[in-house]
Structure 1
Amino acid sequence: MGDQSTGRISGAGGRRDRPPTKGRRPLRIAAWSIAAALLVGGITSGYVYFKIDGNLEGVDINAKLGENRPENIDNGSMDILVLGSDSRSGDNAKYGGAEGGARSDTAMIVHLYEGHQKASVVSIPRDTLVERPECTDSDGKTVRGQQRAMFNTAYETGGPACAVKTVELFSGIRMDHYLEVDFTGFKKLIDELGGVKITTTKPIKDDDSHLDLEPGTHVLDGEQSLGLVRTRKSVGDGSDLGRIQLQQAFMKAFIQRAKDVGALSNPKKMLDIADTATKAITPDSELDSVTELMSFARSLGSLGAEDVQMVTMPVEYDPVDPNRVIPLKAASQQVWNALRLDQPIPAAALKESAGDKSDAADVVSDTVPVPTDTAPKQHG
């Protein structure tokens, strides 16, 4: 069981012992809208508590990875690996197109600085070629390590623990928490929030993601939102780097929407959001109860969209295979060193990176969402 006053993983070394004491608004980013719903909804009845609590099923990362991990650095910061997963089956299948097991098509390292008033989010391109360490899969079988493996194969072959182990290997940073968001659950959550308002400066038409938007302002429902964050071929250079730019722009709009919804005084609405949200995520075992999740949310203070820096891990196109990218070693090391020391990411580390350079970010701009409690009509 984690330390419920801080919401941190209680692994060997006991990290991050100085949580903030000010602020009660949870971090409005991706999976943490769950925590917002729980806090604002005010879960008071035993029935509601157990209903929501029963939705949460955690993954014990500490037990699977053991002691051979990066050092716990007690500087008041916190690092969370957030993955968007796609099982390529059931309701998710129509967004994929690839056969095989589940993959982590979206991956972000979220670094909360001491005091939790600022954050940096580092997106990891799924096509990045990295060293994948030897892992143990969910059946207890050993998965051999591999050089030049696509990053998202870590999750595909070894599950959440292998994804965490791979990130810790190339970053040298210990992950305090893990949160996985299912794409289908994400779609339902957007609908419960009442949609997300964005403005497109160019048309977006992508048959693979089933998205067709003209330039202008749109309130995207869950289906359209999922299509947007999956779009790659119709914006920028058509690569995964362009898609990351779209995801980051959408995330800003999502944060604002969740912030506005958090101000609602409709308990039933908030409980519906909490129910949907807790069904959409798989947290680590230190966040797999309502009590732990609420404690974690309270520790995050009043972090808003304007306090979050979003970047892409410094990469370059692989000279052997232009459809893949490889880390820029020196630049990436600057990023990881900055986070390890709880310092801002230096602009110089991103200067030569192929990431964050696509015009895809200019295609979508976040706007203040409409104040509505109902699911949006069809748009675009």
Structure 2
Amino acid sequence: MSDLNDLHKTPLHALHLELGARMVPFAGYAMPVQYPAGLMAEHHHTRSAAGLFDVSHMGQLTLSGPDAAAAFESLMPVDVIGLGVNKQRYGLLLNDQGGIIDDLMFVNRGSDIFVIVNGACKDGDLAHIQARIGGRCTVTPQFDRALLALQGPQAVTALARLLPGVEQLVFMTGMPATWNGGDLYITRSGYTGEDGFEISLPADRADAFARALLAQTEVKPIGLGARNSLRLEAGLCLYGNDIDVTTTPVEAALNWAMQKVRRTGGERAGGFPGSDLVLAQLDGTQALTRKRVGLIALERVPVREHTELQDLQGETIGEITSGLLGPSADKPVAIGYVKPEFAAVGSRIQALVRGKAVPMEVAPMPFVPNRYFRG
């Protein structure tokens, strides 16, 4: 484990220490894993009220110029050109083998495309994007900006006191705003399955803005521990665990993230890195060897990442990539990969936990219903 003093610090580092956070290394940063209330309380508070997450370790960048949308679209199996102004979309940066370099969020802001990538991947992503399309558009890293996530059913009430107008946003849309002279950009999105917002803002405004949010009765600080349990219950992938460069979007059951215009017929279908393999997997001409599924343990035994999955005869058929006792689901939930013949909902398999076979069932995701605000 690296010395915390050697790690990058977010603009809210001093605030985390003041709030009693337990800090851990994550994506090269010292990050709060939990506060004194603890993971379970933080998880339930986010589901019932509003939780404030510091996600400033994430990478922010902009793509600008008249060809930016078409250039960015050439890197992903995703419709960028057709995205309306202030609309947001989930994207997948692929390598030439169809493997996932990173998953990301992007917004068409009219003047530019605003992209948020994973913290551990941001330097590699930036280099990849600049190498592939840097001659077609201007790629500007904004790694010095802060990023906060306010998540939960009361997030809109709390945020609207500081930024009137945010209540008009719906899921996966955004808007610019100003606060104390700083330029903000807010999207109604997040990584918890709850309604909520992500707020990009200048680093020198982050501490004051976070304190203004925490002064609202609905809001409490939430660490990485609860962020992980919330996203797992929502069935959302964690890059590096559930998806990586060895995984294609089809294996990862992310077909929904590839719009029809990029998949079938027409001049914009295909043409992205690894498209021959990905499209062949989509139409069934290339058979899958594994598929991502949701799993529920039928005994109250948490089944963690890297746990072997077997058929009922004890033959290896896959592996868990994320797993824990879901605080809201109130049962052990997991994400993993299995051979395709075991991927159907209701399939019975087993996990080998410390030498003991734990019965598992393939289950639909999310494990807890999403509550995104769609208007």
Do both proteins adopt the same fold according to a TM-score greater than 0.5, normalized to the shorter chain?
no
Q: TM-score, normalised by structure 1?
A: 0.27
Q: Which has the larger radius of gyration?
A: 2
Greater helix fraction, Structure 1 or Structure 2: 1
| Higher relative contact order (CA closer than 8 Å, sequence separation 6+) | 1
Greater strand fraction, Structure 1 or Structure 2: 2
Q: TM-score, normalised by structure 2?
A: 0.28
